[in-house]
Amino acid sequence: MSADYIQYETTRRIRSHVSNLKHTTSGGVGSVLVGEDCRATFMWTACTNSPWFRRFAVRCHWRMGDIWRLDRPVNLGELKLVFELLEEDWIAYGTDLEGQLQTCLTAIIFISGFFAALQGEEIVREDLGAIRKHWEEAVEYPCDPHVPLMLSGRFKRETGEKLFCQPLAVKSKSGLDIQSWFFRTIWVMERTGAMSGPLFRVIGAKKKGFKRASMGTIQPLFHRIL
């Protein structure tokens, strides 16, 4: 190899090449077990089939970050770092409303999933108009001020269109200012002309009006910050 670093796929293919080469040689196959149905089981003696190499391959995956753990939850430490990065983005975008809006919506995705325990298709049902309507009353509530996370639409085990309120603490025990991110989102969307309708939106068919976004549409925001 002339390069100082190679990708894992290169390593894997070299391993396959060595393994296939060994299997085609006279000493590449050990014992052969043949059953009554004439099916055979071969005992390969290639070094790439050894327990040592299998452990090496797994650790190689780990060292290169090639680890697949589907549906792994985001832990609190990672969440704090995410919001540190988002705060830096918010400051960096300055007067760029589009950049600030993308930053705020990313923050709302994490807040909704982590603190409100909403699933993907529930997050996109957040309603901007309903949040604005109940905002002042909720954040100034005498006993328990809270952030009104409002959901509208059709839900499982419910008939027709429904409107639900998921109250959130204005500030989490970990120090995350939930109210601030929602206020920023409302503020930016006002300046882009959005006063009601779905919080997560995309341009409708034939570029007429807006419609509710799908989880697939907003996933790039989530993946970008991770």
Q: How far apart are CA 105 and CA 218, in angstroms?
A: 9
Cα radius of gyration rounded to whole Å, the chain: 27
For 23-71, the pLDDT digits (tens) are: 777 666 667 677 777 777 767 677 777 788 778 877 777 776 666 666 6
Beta bridge partners of 33: 41
pLDDT, the chain, mean: 82
Question: How many CB atoms are closer than 10 A to CB 213?
Answer: 18
For 100-150, the pLDDT digits (tens) are: 999 999 999 999 988 998 887 888 899 999 999 999 999 999 888 999 999
SS3 category, 88: helix
Sequence-distant contacts of 14-18: CB under 8 A, at least 24 apart: 15/48, 15/53, 15/57, 16/48, 18/46, 18/47, 18/48
Contacts of 164 (CB under 8 A, 6+ apart): 150, 151, 152, 155
pTM: 0.67
Q: How far apart are CA 26 and CA 208, in angstroms?
A: 70
